[in-house]
Amino acid sequence: MGCAAVTVSARLQGLVSWDSDWAGLRVVVTGIGVSGFAAADTLIELGARVVVVDAATSETAKAQADTLKIVGAEDVILGPGAVSRIPRIDGTLPELIVTSPGWRPDQALLAAAARAHIPVWGDVELAWRLRQRAGRKTADWLTITGTNGKTTTVGLTEAMLQAAGLKAIAVGNVGTPILDALRDPVEYDVFAVELSSFQLHWSESLSPVASVCLNVAEDHVDWHGSYASYLADKAKVYERTQKACIYNAEQIETERMVENADVVEGCRAVGFTTLTPAISMLGVVEGLLVDRAFIEERKDSAAELASMADLGPFAPRHMVANALAAAGLVRAYGVEPKAVRQGIQAYVPGNHRIQPVARRNDVLWVNDSKATNPHAASASLATFENVIWIAGGLSKGVSYDELVRDHAARLKAVVLIGSDTTPLAEALRRHAPDVPVIAPPAGDTENMQTAATGGAIAGSSPDSGEAVMSRAVASAAQLAVSGDTVLMAPAAASMDQFSSYAHRGDAFIEAVRELVEGQAQSGEE
């Protein structure tokens, strides 16, 4: 490594607060979406020289580009060609690349950065380095990852912290960029940080007060290259944790992650389980959520945190696990049991996760568009009997064999959606050969949306997804009778036919609403 490279490396290592010397730093930001825009805007405010690139050419992207140019970006380059090579700033390669989390390491520009030994940070890594600022309170971080349940757990964590009287906000993969929260006039006490495996991959120095990996299952293999690499990135959530690594005692992989993590001296390992907890665990005893970890008398007693009834009348096992994980985080932070219960009672679940949409003629319609992988869909299917299952989408290289085998007995019929139904259809033929399968019409198997190099999305028709879902709902309605549940839990990503899982869920909700209204108007019983 030459002298210039050593000098750049030393400068980057010294960028550990808002007040560090960011002025004039040459930075390329990849992506102009929510995370990329926040990163670019922040770096410009710090005085860095910023160039932004994205394959997108949509009107939204152009508007974002215009805004960044107004506030001081050196340049914003859009279109497929913009992401094939590293742009130079005044004829010189950048000193740093800050990437949006969805960009794969083998993407052309990022691969070129690796060959040129240019450091790549994610927006979360940038936010961690900026968290300290003269004259402002530094918020503590509680970090949350897992294949499923992240958004629910981060929401519960936020609610418990707020119930304790703390200024807390859910940030990260949940929707609000951490960088935006850092620049908020509100001086927060603590961030509940949802981290995807992508964000963890591009992070290197985070040191949260407490951390949790809720669970792991095969997911995003196409992005990470292998399941082992996916697990390795998930395990990074525990690195440098200060007080407590919360792990899933019912899944040995998360316990091993904690065992192998390089943590701060004195950091504890605390398990959670939906069964009776051992010492230094949280769990369930006679319908109560209890703590045997953060009390002095944990050897022979437990502190009551909440009851199952506090989770509402509809509390599947994974919801109990999420509540216990959140409780573990906030108890590690010092929150009292009373606030844990109050937070659970105050928490309002988000849409698209096992969301009852309608009941008509004793048929329950449920939206679980957020079930974007087999593990999430399994938790959803386990909640119901006599299921007409709407499923399919972008498989991300995962296997459906275990999912279908485990739940074949509860399937009454399957309505397939998605541009490539082959993996799921083959698993159904192998493990549920007697279950009727409704294949999508030929036109529905065409990609409605394609991810361009670097993550841009181009839609061919604004109502394509709605038409796909309308046909699926109509097919399910023809099969459903009293006592059935029509469950839309795709076990796949949405980006082949929809812009997001929320778009897919909204399309389902609207299609069901139209169906139910039509039945009511016709007097159908």
191-209: per-residue pLDDT in tens?
999 999 999 999 999 999 9
**Which residue type is seen at 260?**
N
Q: Which residue has the higher pLDDT, 456 or 33?
A: 33
Domain of residue 320, CATH code: 3.40.1190.10
What pLDDT shows up at residue 443?
A: 59
Tens digits of residue pLDDT in 46-66: 999 999 999 999 999 999 999
Query: Both tokens of residue 452?
Result: 């361009």
What pLDDT shows up at residue 380?
A: 87
With respect to residue 2, please indicate whether it lies within any of the assigned structural domains. Answer: no
Query: Pairing relation of β-strands 190-194 and 168-172?
Result: parallel
Final residue before a domain boundary, out of 317, 346, 375: 346
Could you tell me if 382 and 300 lie in one domain? no
Per-residue pLDDT band for 445 (boundaries 50, 70, 90) equals low
Domain with 238, as residue range(s), is 132-346
Per-residue pLDDT band for 452 (boundaries 50, 70, 90) equals very low
* Alpha carbon distance 246, 324 (integer Å): 10
Tokens 């498989």, residue located: 395
Counted residue by residue, the chain has a size of 525
Final residue before a domain boundary, out of 118, 147, 165: 118
- For the cut 50, the answer to whether the pLDDT of residue 163 exceeds it is yes
Nearest to 143, CA basis, from 249, 233, 236: 236
What pLDDT shows up at residue 420?
A: 85
- For the cut 50, the answer to whether the pLDDT of residue 458 exceeds it is no
Domain of residue 368, CATH code: 3.90.190.20
Could you tell me if 327 and 193 lie in one domain? yes
Could you tell me if 326 and 381 lie in one domain? no
% of the chain exceeding 70 in pLDDT = 92
Q: Is residue 207 packed enough to be buried (19+ CB in 10 Å), middle (13-18) or exposed (0-12)?
A: middle
Sheet bearing 96-99, strands edge to edge: 75-78, 49-54, 26-30, 96-99, 120-122
Domain count, the chain: 3
What pLDDT shows up at residue 42?
A: 97
With respect to residue 367, please indicate whether it lies within any of the assigned structural domains. Answer: yes
Could you tell me if 78 and 138 lie in one domain? no
What pLDDT shows up at residue 349?
A: 77
Region 127-134 average pLDDT: 97
Tens digits of residue pLDDT in 213-272: 999 987 777 777 788 999 999 999 999 999 999 999 999 999 999 999 999 999 999 999
Could you tell me if 365 and 342 lie in one domain? no
Contact yes or no for 142/330 (Cβ under 8 A): yes
Query: Pairing relation of β-strands 75-78 and 49-54?
Result: parallel
Q: Of 10-24, 226-240, 319-333, 350-364, which gets the smallest average pLDDT? A: 350-364
Across all residues in the chain, what is the average pLDDT?
A: 90
- For the cut 60, the answer to whether the pLDDT of residue 455 exceeds it is no
What pLDDT shows up at residue 462?
A: 39
Domain of residue 52, CATH code: 3.40.50.720
What pLDDT shows up at residue 217?
A: 85
Per-residue pLDDT band for 520 (boundaries 50, 70, 90) equals low
DSSP assignment, residue 137?
Answer: P
